[in-house]
Structure 1
Amino acid sequence: MRISRIAVVGGGIIGTAVARELALRCEDATVTIFEKEPYLAAHQTGHNSGVVHAGLYYEPGSLKARLCRTGVAKLVEYSAVNGIHYEECGKLVVAHTTAEVDRLEAIFERAKANGVPHVKLLDRNEMREVEPHVRGVLALHSPHTAIIDFAKLAESFAADVTAAGGRIEYNSEVARLDTMGNEVRVALALPGIDSRTTEDGGSFDLVVTCAGLQADRLAAASGLDSNPRIVPFHGDYFVIDKPDAEVVRGLIYPVPDPAFPFLGVHLTRRIDGALMLGPNAFVALGREKYERGGFDLGDIGSTLGFKGFWKFASQNVRAAAREARTALSPKAFIEEAQKYVPDIDPATVKPGPRGVRAQAMNPDGSLVDDFVITTRGRLTQVRNAPSPGATSSMAIAEYVADKALGALR
């Protein structure tokens, strides 16, 4: 089947990676990226911590685990060829209690099963050779965990698309997709007008949506299942600038607690040399509200009107209390980081950026942990791409292209 018109909805790291992959595979086709903002990587990608994950935590054999390891290898090669700063700063996952030690040893076994290279367990003296200011009783060291600027990476992917003859339509919000027998029609929202009023965005032989925070709404508007639903959680960071950031050399993470759905405060070196503390995780008052105090009544109503959210909330009262403490108190936030690095000087810490996470949730309140990618005819949708989504972007792009093109054979 000849394909000459391809559209990708969303100009984040997943959307640009998918568009690039399709442009390289379908040389006779024109690939169009529809991005509702005036620039790329405006949402999750542009508010990302920049960590290239090695694949420590994920269930062996899961789509996450497989695509993470493949994605890392591809990012290393692509960054080297295209001159994008990629730094293997390494990561310590640090245990403080007996229970955490048991969980850390289980993570170590999982990391080995996933093929993560050169991971080791370090005692308290060995870990301080890696991070002189860290405190703990046992640490898992992943020397090849890295950092990168994912927004710059998305821009590079998009440049590859345009170099291949594709185009990027900015300020173009896709309101609906109408799947016909031999094409998919794109309906664009008219700016400043009720979202139900649309204009023609063209017809395409193949469409892939990578809509992130709006994935469920675009699916529902296109006549598809609205589940899993997106419930937004914001994450606040604090920042320590150079030279005070030298108190941490790489990345220091807590041991995940299965009783809590989110990881907790950790310490992350940024590609510009600054140190980020965070994030916490608390239900957001807007899917795309990054300023503190910002809210969107429609988004609030969407969250509160979803029965799955209330089931989730009732099952995670302790987690909510823990996250509320750090969300409401900068002092508590910094103290969480000081558990791992007591030498952090609160006077050097200042408020940093906020990100919003597109958390996919089932109607029973359970969180969707793995990637969710669905195909119906000429329309393929990336419904959920949680961490390590950015790390896995090039591998996800290959997987999506295989599914999307395979459905047309």
Structure 2
Amino acid sequence: MKDIIVIGGGIVGLSTAFSLSRRFPHANLAVLEKESAWARHQTGNNSGVIHSGIYYKPGSLKAKFATEGSRQMIQFCREHGVDYDQCGKVIVATKPSELPQLENLFQRGRANGLDLSLIGEEQIKEEEPYVKGIKAIKVPQAGIVDYKQVCERMVHDLTKRGAELHLNTEVKQVMEHDHNVEIVTDKKTFQTKFVVNCTGLQSDRVTKMAGVEIDLQIIPFRGEYYELIPEKHHLVKNLIYPVPNPDFPFLGVHFTRMIGGGVEAGPNAVLSLKREGYKKTDFDVKDLSEVMTYKGFWKLASKYWKEGAKEMWRSYSKKAFVKSLQELIPSVQEEDLVPASSGVRAQALQSDGTLVDDFFIVPGKRSIHVCNAPSPAATACFPIGKAIADKVPELEMSPRVFIHS
């Protein structure tokens, strides 16, 4: 009998286990992950940005956890030897019509406790010489990191603390009883006193397995990237973002210097035909049929069809993708970009067509379910993990048996 099992080996699942191992140092703790390695999905396929918290509604979990999380992430990296760079970024208005939204974003960031500055054309050129903009927000708190390294360090720490870590272990059933939870996997059946569901792209399914009713479904959006060829890396010093479109729930294509070298450009945001579909050709009948028969999706599509059509066009037209990038850096040309790997965002959508905007955590009888944790969840993983660990009730811990070889 385990005391606590965490399902999901991405950065949110591992950070939750990390916090649980500190709150309950004598707990018999286990983590189950269906893949053959940690951080294989959202964590391992994002651009590695340490977000500042500027975009999020003051008072929301995203705002609170992103601002706290960026500080805690940098502290963790320093203590555990993880590669990071708090390089800062600029959010650039390229035309007068974007200035009111830029000002709103600046005020939101200040309300979230960030030390920001508004800069003009000359200062933009000092920060990013190849950017064409009329005004920008300088965000010194933003940075870049290798989130896979962060996960590796947490796995090492959990192993030292005696946690059981199970890869290649896919959960098939979760049954909550009065005094325990039964978890059936493709390897064996686990008994535990409490379970935490951090399964990202599968989170709604695991929640429903446990008998917890939720009015939402995960809709997968694929983000496609290009990479600048080495000869053009000089065009981007750090992070360059556009002013986000207030009529669309994504940030728009941007330039990101990567911690391991290179510069990515993107992403767009298109519906993925498979929950874990990283290629245009990836397709799953069950995944797609769930989307197509969900009334919330059609309500969302009717609201954002114009923006969605533009995203789809950019997916199939490199010329259109480059044209969007040229709004920030006019000198970028098609031949300067080569395709890079994609990521898939797990976005929770309610049946009335409302996108779940904030992190969304749902309790069960003997469980907690993280039902919405898209970006900036990687940045915010330590506050998220602690918040979840704090919600786990005090348990009568099972005696732990250590086998020495």
Q: Give the alignment's TM-score, normalised by structure 1.
A: 0.94
Contact persistence 2:3–2:395 (CA under 8 A): no
Aligned to 2:400: none
Aligned to 2:182: 185
1:290 to 269, 273, 278: 278
Name the stretch that deviates more: 340-349 or 73-82.
340-349
Contact persistence 2:212–2:364 (CA under 8 A): no
* Distance change in 2, residues 1:329/1:81 (3 Å): same
Aligned to 1:160: 157
Residue by residue over 1:304-338, the C-alpha shift from the partner in whole angstroms, topping out at 9 and shown as x without a partner, is: 01010011101111111221121110111112111
Aligned to 1:276: 264
Percentage of pairs with the same residue: 39
2 CA distance for matches of 1:4 and 1:220? 22
2 CA distance for matches of 1:256 and 1:79? 29
* Distance change in 2, residues 1:71/1:235 (3 Å): same
Contact persistence 1:31–1:161 (CA under 8 A): no
Aligned to 1:84: 82
Contact persistence 2:36–2:167 (CA under 8 A): yes
Contact persistence 1:245–1:273 (CA under 8 A): no
Contact persistence 1:216–1:227 (CA under 8 A): no
Q: Tell me the matched-pair count.
A: 397
Correspondence 1:36 to 2:34: yes
Aligned to 1:175: 172
Aligned to 2:56: 58
* Ranges in structure 2 where 5+ consecutive residues have no aligned partner: 397-405
Residue by residue over 1:133-158, the C-alpha shift from the partner in whole angstroms, topping out at 9 and shown as x without a partner, is: 11111101102200001111112111
Within a 5 Å distance, the mapping from 1:123-142 to structure 2 comes to 123-142=120-139
2:146 to 149, 158, 176: 149
Contact persistence 1:288–1:356 (CA under 8 A): yes
Residue by residue over 1:249-275, the C-alpha shift from the partner in whole angstroms, topping out at 9 and shown as x without a partner, is: 111111111111222211111111211
CA drift of 1:112 comes to 0.7
* Ranges in structure 1 where 5+ consecutive residues have no aligned partner: 191-198
Within a 5 Å distance, the mapping from 1:8-407 to structure 2 comes to 8-117=6-115, 119-188=116-185, 190=186, 200-405=188-393
CA drift of 1:378 comes to 2.0
* Distance change in 2, residues 1:220/1:376 (3 Å): closer
2 CA distance for matches of 1:223 and 1:4? 20
CA RMSD for the aligned pairs?
Answer: 1.6
2 CA distance for matches of 1:217 and 1:407? 26
Contact persistence 1:266–1:279 (CA under 8 A): yes
Q: Give the alignment's TM-score, normalised by structure 2.
A: 0.95
Contact persistence 1:232–1:359 (CA under 8 A): yes
Contact persistence 1:89–1:147 (CA under 8 A): yes
Aligned to 1:194: none
2 CA distance for matches of 1:97 and 1:405? 52
Residue by residue over 1:53-81, the C-alpha shift from the partner in whole angstroms, topping out at 9 and shown as x without a partner, is: 00111111111111111111111111001
CA drift of 1:99 comes to 2.5
CA drift of 1:243 comes to 4.3
